[in-house]
Structures are given as structure tokens and as C-alpha cells.
Amino acid sequence: MSTSLSSPVSLRIEAGIALITVDNPPVNALSHAVRTGLLQALRAALSDEAVRAAVLLCSGRTFIAGADVTEFGRALQPPHLPEVTQAFEESPKPVVAALHGTTLGGGFEIALACHYRIATPSTTVGLPEVKLGLIPGAGGTQRLPRLVGVDLALKMICNGVPITAAHALESGAIDEITEGDLEVAAATAAERLGRDAKPPRRTGLLSVTRPIDGIFDEAKRTFAKKRELIAPLRCIEAIRAAVSLPFVEGLKRERELFLQLRTSPQAAALRHAFLGEREVGKVPGLSAHVTAREVRRIAVIGAGTMGGGIAMCFANAGFPVQLVEAGSGALERGIATIRKNYAATVTRGALSQDGMDKRLHLITPTLIYEDLREADLIVEAAFEDMDVKQLVFERVDAVAKPGAILATNTSYLDVAAIAEFTGRPQDVLGMHFFSPANVMRLLENVRTPKTAPDVLLTAMKIAKAIGKVAVLVGGADGFVGNRMLAQRTREAYFLLEEGALPEQVDRVLVDFGFPMGPLAVGDLAGLDIGWRNRKARAHLRRPGVRDCNLLDKVCEMGRFGQKSGAGWYRYEAGNRTPHPDPLIEQLILDHARQAGIVRRDISDREILERCLYAMINEGARILGEGVAARAVDIDMVWLHGYGFPAWRGGPMFHADQVGLTTVYEAITRYRERFGAELWSPAPLLEELAAVGHGFFTAGVTAPAIVR
Ligand code: NAD
């Protein structure tokens, strides 16, 4: 017998076993239709006297991989998931969950409510809700501890990291792994349970093994370290309820906590981060008729800090890479660094020796530009100097095959001007990787007015192929990320001369959620880079506009940051911990005296506002100019390239949460104090604040971002 109930869930009855199948591609997300279909299928199976037991399974590449994230921002629509899990658990006929792929979130919660769990060997199971600022809300925090104990439940739920089928079997989260056909094995298990005279084993009726004393306090201490993140603490509270309350009361407590978090600003921000990562790949205006160019062979020019990392990115994804250098010494050093970096990964256990050998084998060092003839994509990462870029692009233009994509990794130079060094500006764009290029996920793909749409599409696709989050940007002078960063750095230096010390500025931004403060970041990146950049751009300085030359003074002392053992902080050999340095304090005090600045106490609030609002204002300008297409593009740049805390969503999302009127008013106050040259509100910010809109509520999209 076979009955189709509602589209994503079907019911088939074979030899007394009801096979309930979810088919909701791509990942069988628990949409409203799936929840409804599951209840209907279960009820139909229960009311059929011929049915002795049921199997819940999924079509496609995975069991239910979680909630339907697109439903998150909306009002909850019944049936809610707890109703579904409860119905499965209370079923008088045994239900076997047949798991494959990524059994996550609500999918795993349903499986936990079934009476038996069988999985394929490659299955992973987990409750990653915490990553979206939530707790599992359909019994996961109550049932999982009953099966695996409090210790593992805390680890799985508070970290949100899935476990393998083997680990799940060993810990009791699942009952069986099958190497054979999953449906057949699950039906066999259901058949066996159906013959049993005893009622099915209900997870909710199991008792929780008493955990070791102090386990919850210890967990709280661990997760309190993750600063203001609320969700892990609520997870701990819910799991504690599994120990201290009867099952039904525990479920109630879990639901309360879930509902509180669901509408919290942190959950909204984390959801924005999650969806934004997917959104930025869809470029507005990039016509559906455009097809990407084929990219099989890569060439990278320059084997320095960036070129080496970029070559690794491509080799890691299986692309053959020609690595071109100007001299044999630099080439040997570059290859040695790549080898050293891979070897460190092998030592850490994150890569096999075989994997390392394969990757190294894909990278071919060369000193001959003619070797670029076959490359489909050439990424230049030579010195940051227009004359060098000209030399390189003229040489590349002479040898590259027609249709090859020519990219520059420049941080600040005008990509459109670089494109004009070739006879094919339509094939040129910026691909701005971040340091270390093989680690950082962000890639700013920089378009010029002449870049062809299929070149942009190809750059976005290739970014995905190498595991990057690519954001399409335009403009010059730092594009999106560095242009906003320059504003924050400017304010950080001003704050130092006005009265703050590096450790105070850094603490305020770390308290906000950044992994490091701006001055410690400078020490990590190398202060000489910023110094060189300042010198190269000295001609752009406007007379009469405030400028702080503290960085020059620090660098003139030979303090270039961690690499020289001292920068804004001092460092002990072999240790990256920054230590406040009295020499720097003295330097700052002397500097202020010479500049005639009377130092004052500066509040943490002022530090935060000036560092953040200067950035947000620049973000609004970037958006108004169409340098970024959407506010979400700016947010993803900051989340994936600059350590902006995901639970605040990104600078533009955060600005909306603070309220643009508040941001605007603060900026106008700073304009009164520090002058219009530095603190004029961006026209877009002014417009939105005047009508009470946010960057996101207004849905600002730059017109025709791709021509
Ligand atoms: P680097 O000095 O470490 O490396 C540059 C390499 O290019 C050197 O090995 C040099 O020998 C080689 N080179 C110079 N001229 C060449 C030529 N004609 N042909 C072939 N090779 C040549 O510099 P880097 O830090 O890797 O920066 C490279 C580019 O990436 C710059 O445009 C820089 O602005 C940009 N960038 C740097 C960072 C960073 O944090 N370092 C981040 C993003 C982008």
C-alpha cells in the first residue's frame, strides 16, 4: 500500500511497517509543510491496524538537517516542532529513525524522540542551534542528556559541534550503525521492535545519570569566557533543568528559554550572519544569462606573504598553480615558507603527509612569464607599487591567452588604472585576499567600470570553489574593508593623543566582541605596512585637517609590532601576549605635550562610539556611492575579514540595532567637537535617520551595481 499525504512527506506501508519519508530538497529542512506532513503521516500509520511499527527516513543527501532558517524571522506557525517530537515519542507503535548525512538541529531532535536510531557510518548528528543564538527548542536539551549523559550533552549543545556516527553509537546517542541498505536495516529493526510485547522505549522516560558535582558551574565559567554570548549559558540552564526537573517540566523550561532567545538581538544578528554569508554570493544585477568562464589552471605572481598563501588556497582546492617570481632567491624563500606552513598543519594533525605532498606537487615554481600561457586565472601579488603593477600587467598581457582572467591583489591601488596597463581591461579585476590568505575566509572581488560580467561571475564562483566568502565591491582606496578600517585606526590614534592608552582602547573593542583591539592588530599585521602606506599617501593629506603622526614615531624607534618584539606593546620572545609598555606611554605623553594637547580621561563609551561610528559612517558613504551593493555586503566583509563579532551581525546591522537616529546624533555631536572635515554624517545615514529607517529596513541597494 502506498499513500501520498502532503507533498514533502509520504507514507508507504509494506509488510506491516509504515515507511514515512521526508523529501524536501536540498536538505529536508523542517518547514511548516514538513512538520504538518510528519504529523499526518504518523497519525495515518497509527490508525492503520495493519501497521506494527514505523520507520522515519529521508530522501536525498541527508536526513532532516535542521529548521527552515527562512522561517526564523517570522511568526511561529503551528504545528510547532515540540508537538511533532512529542507525537513521535508518544506513539504506541515503535518508530525507528533511519539517519544519513547531517542529522542536525530539529532533525536530530525528532530522531531523539523516536524509539530507536540507526545510522549509516558517514552520518553526523548534532544540535548546532547555539550557533544561531538559540537553544534546541523541541526537547533536545532534555532528551540528549538522558541518552548520553550531562557531560557530552553540555559539550554538544553548548559548542554546537556535531559528532560522528561512531561517537554517537559509543555514547548511546544512536543504537546501531549499518553498513548495508539503510531502509532495509531500519525496517528490520522496526519489525523486531514491533514484535516486542513491551511498549516502545521512550527517551523522555529514561532517568538522567547524576552528573559529577560542579559540572554546571564549570561549564558556565567556560562559556562566560566567550564574553556576552547568551545562548550557551541558556543551553546550560536548560540541561540543568533536565537534571533537576521532571521531564515535562524540563520541556516547558526549555521552550521558555527557546522562545526568549528566538526574538533576542543576538539571535537576529547570528541569523543575519548565517543568511548573509549565502546572500553575498548572489550579485544584484548580474544577469542570469551570464555564464562563467572555465577555470582549471591558475598562476600566481609573487611568492611573498600573500602570493604564497594564495597559491596554497588554490592548491588546497585541487587546482594546479604556477607560482612566478622575479628572482630565484625570492622564489626559493616563498616555496620554503609554503612547505613550512603545510608541515605545521601536518604536525597539528589537520593534514596528512600524503595530502601535503599532493598539494606541494600542484604548485610549480617558475621564473619565466611565458609559463603563464596556459593559465585561465592569473592573480598578481607583487609589491604594492604602481610601477611594479604596470611592469607585471604589461608582461602578463603579452603572454596570457585570450579570455584569461587577470586579477590583482592590491590593497589600495586603483584597479581600473591597473586594468589600463593591458589591452584587455574587461578581463581585469581585483581579487583582494586577506592575510594569512590560506586562513582568512574573506575575498573582496573588486570590479572596475570595465570588468566584464562573466569575469565577475567567474571570480565569485572560483571563490566558492576555494572555500572563501567573496563579496563584490568597487572603488579604490581600500575598497570596503580597509577604507572603513582606516577610519577606525584614525580615531584610535586620536584617542591616544587625547588621553587614552593602547590597552584601554583595545580593551573597549575586545569587550565589544572583537578578538583583538585595533592597536594589538596593528602589532600583529606589522606597523611598517601602515607606516609605508602613510608615506605613500602623504600627498593626499589635506592641509589644516587633523593628522596624528604617532605611528611614525613608534616605527622610527624600530618598533614594527610582534615581528620586532615591540610595537604599541612589548612582547616576550616566542610569546604573542601584548604587554603595556611604559616607553610607549611616555612617547604618547611627550607627543601630546609637543602637539599642545591637554590629555583628559576618556570614557569607554566615547572610545567605542568614535571607533565604531566612524566606521559605520564610512560604510554609509560606501553604500551611498555604490562601492558596496548592499549593507549585507559590508557586514560580511567585517565578519569574515576583520573579526567583527558575528553575534552583533556586522557594523551596519549593529547600527540598525543601535538605531540610526542615535548613531546620527552621536556623529553630529562629534562634528561639533572635532569638525566637519572628520565627522560629517554620510548623506545616506542622514536621510535614513531623518525618516527613522535602518540600512536593512530601508532595503538599500545600489542601482545597477553591474553594468
Ligand atoms: P611581499 O613583499 O611579501 O611579496 C611580494 C613578492 O612579489 C616578493 O616576493 C617579490 O619578490 C615579488 N615580486 C616583485 N616584483 C615581481 C615581479 N615583477 N614578478 C614577480 N614577482 C615579483 O608583499 P605581500 O605582503 O605579499 O603583498 C603583495 C600584494 O598583496 C600587495 O599588492 C599588497 O598590497 C597586497 N596585500 C597584502 C596584504 C598583507 O597583509 N601583506 C593583504 C592584502 C593584500
Q: What is the DSSP letter of 175?
A: S
The pick from 301, 335, 383 for probing ligand 1's pocket by mutation, whose C-beta has the most ligand atoms within 8 angstroms, reads 383
- Percent of residues, the chain, with pLDDT higher than 70: 97
The C-alpha atoms of residue 64 and residue 487 are separated, in whole angstroms, by 45
Please, which pLDDT band fits residue 335 given cuts at 50, 70 and 90? very high
Whether the pLDDT of residue 70 is over 90: the answer is no
Determine if ligand 1 sits within 6 Å of the CB of residue 384: yes
Q: Grid cell 596570457 — which residue?
A: 400
How many angstroms does the Cα of residue 300 sit away from the middle of ligand 1?
11
Position 391, amino acid: L
Averaged pLDDT for residues 317-324: 98
CA dihedral 374→379→382→387, nearest 10 degrees, is 90
Mean pLDDT of 255-265: 94
Residue type, 385: D
697, burial (CB in 10 Å: exposed 0-12, middle 13-18, buried 19+) = exposed
**Is 326 close to ligand 1, i.e. is its CB under 6 Å away?**
yes
**Helices 353-362 and 328-348: angle between axes, nearest 10 degrees:** 160
DSSP string, 115-167: SEEEE-TT-EEE-GGGGGT----SSHHHHHHHHH-HHHHHHHHHH---EEHHH
In total, the chain counts a number of residues equal to 707
pLDDT at 707 over 60: no
Q: What is the pLDDT of residues 663-687, one digit of tens each?
A: 999 999 999 999 999 999 999 999 9
**What's the CA gap between 427 and 407, in Å, rounded?**
8
| Residue 692: exposure state from Cβ atoms within 10 A (0-12, 13-18, ≥19) | exposed
- Please compute the mean of the pLDDT values over residues 109-130 and round it to a whole number: 98
pLDDT greater than 80 at residue 2: no
Q: Does residue 702 surpass a pLDDT of 60? A: no
Beta strands in 281-382 (DSSP E): 298-301, 321-324, 363-366, 377-380
Report the atom number in ligand 1 closest to the C-alpha of 307: 26
Mutation test residue for ligand 1: of 300, 301, 305, 312, the one with most atoms within 8 Å of CB: 305
Q: Place 226 in a pLDDT band, splitting at 50, 70 and 90.
A: low
Q: What is the spatial distance between Cα 467 and Cα 44, in angstroms, rounded to a whole number?
A: 44
C-alpha gyration radius of the chain: 29
Query: 407: CA distance to ligand 1 center in Å?
Result: 13
Per-residue pLDDT at 285: 80
Q: How do the residues of the chain divide into helix, strand and coil, expressed in percent and rounded to 5?
A: 50, 10, 35
Which single residue is written with the C-alpha cell 504506541?
92
Three-state secondary-structure class, residue 371? helix
Give the residue whose CA is nearest to atom 12 of ligand 1: 302
Residue 382 Cα: closest atom of ligand 1: 7
Q: Of ligand 1's atoms, which has the minimum distance to the CA of residue 324?
A: 20
Task: For residue 566, report the distance from its CA to the centre of ligand 1, in Å.
Answer: 24
Asked if residue 6 has its Cβ within 6 Å of ligand 1, the reply is: no
DSSP-assigned letter for residue 539: G
C-alpha cell at 547: 593628522
Measured CA to CA, the distance from residue 695 to residue 689 in angstroms comes to 10
pLDDT attached to residue 6 = 54
Ligand 1 centroid – CA 626 distance (Å): 28
> Could you tell me what percent of the chain has a pLDDT over 90?
90
Residues 685 and 706: their CA atoms lie apart, in Å, by 24
Predicted local confidence at residue 536, as pLDDT: 87
Instruction: Return the SS3 of 248.
Output: helix
410 lines ligand 1 (CB under 6 A): yes
93-107, 198-212, 437-451, 576-590: the lowest-pLDDT one = 198-212
3-state SS class at 56: strand
Give the residue from 623, 602, 604 showing the smallest Cα distance to 612. Answer: 604
Q: Give the residue whose CA is nearest to atom 8 of ligand 1.
A: 304
96: left (phi over 0), alpha (psi -120 to 50) or beta: beta
Mean pLDDT of the chain: 94
Q: For the residues of 413-448, what is the DSSP string, one character each?
A: S-HHHHHTTSS-GGGEEEEEE-SSTTT--EEEEE--
For residue 704, pLDDT beyond 50: no
Q: Looking at 60-74, 126-140, 417-431, 585-599, which range is the least confident one?
A: 60-74
- The answer for residues whose C-beta is within 8 angstroms of residue 505's C-beta and 6 or more apart is 492, 495, 496, 517, 518, 519, 607, 611
Question: Which of 198-212, 498-512, 598-612 is predicted with the least confidence, judged by mean pLDDT?
Answer: 198-212
Residues facing residue 116 across a β-bridge: 96
With left for phi above 0 and alpha for psi between -120 and 50, is residue 659 left, alpha or beta?
left
pLDDT in tens, 81-113: 999 999 999 999 999 999 999 999 999 999 999
* Cross-sheet strand order for the sheet of 124-126: 102-104, 124-126, 163-164
Q: Whose CA is nearest to atom 35 of ligand 1?
A: 410
Point out the residues that are catalytic: 109, 129
Q: Rounded to 5 degrees, what are φ and ψ at 126?
A: -175, 170
Verify whether ligand 1 is closer than 6 Å to residue 381 (CB atom): yes
Cα-flanking dihedrals φ and ψ of residue 331, to 5°?
Answer: -65, -45
**Cell numbers placing 670:** 562629534
- Give the pLDDT mean for 574-588: 96
| pLDDT tens-place string over residues 420-467 | 999 999 999 999 999 999 999 999 999 999 999 999 999 999 999 999
How many CB atoms neighbour CB 333 within 10 A? 15
- Identify any residues that bridge with 579 across adjacent strands, giving them in sequence order: 570
Phi, psi of 322 (to 5 degrees): -90, 130
Residue 129 near residue 135, CB atoms below 8 Å: yes
| 375 CA from centroid of ligand 1 (Å) | 20
Cβ atoms of residues 163 and 124 within 8 Å: yes
CA angle 169, 152, 256 (to 5 degrees): 115
pLDDT in tens, 602-625: 999 999 999 999 999 999 999 999
- The C-alpha atoms of residue 276 and residue 1 are separated, in whole angstroms, by 45
| pLDDT score of 706 more than 60 | no
The finding on whether 305 has its CB within 6 A of some atom of ligand 1 is: yes
What CA–CA distances, in Å, run from 589 to 504, 554, 601?
15, 13, 13
Residue type at 158 in one-letter notation: C
User: Ligand 1 pocket, 132 CB below 6 A?
Assistant: no
Residue 182, pLDDT above cutoff 50: yes
Instruction: Indicate whether residue 290 lines ligand 1 (CB < 6 A).
Output: no
Q: Ligand 1 centre and the CA of 402: distance in Å?
A: 25
Q: Is the CB of 303 under 6 A from ligand 1?
A: yes
At 159, list the grid cell.
Answer: 559548542
Q: Calculate the dihedral angle through the C-alpha atoms of 525, 528, 534, 537, rounding to the nearest 10 degrees.
A: -90
Is the pLDDT assigned to residue 4 strictly greater than 60? no
Q: What spacing in Å lies between the alpha carbon of 383 and ligand 1's midpoint?
A: 4
Instruction: Report pLDDT for 705.
Output: 47
Does residue 540 register a pLDDT over 90?
A: no
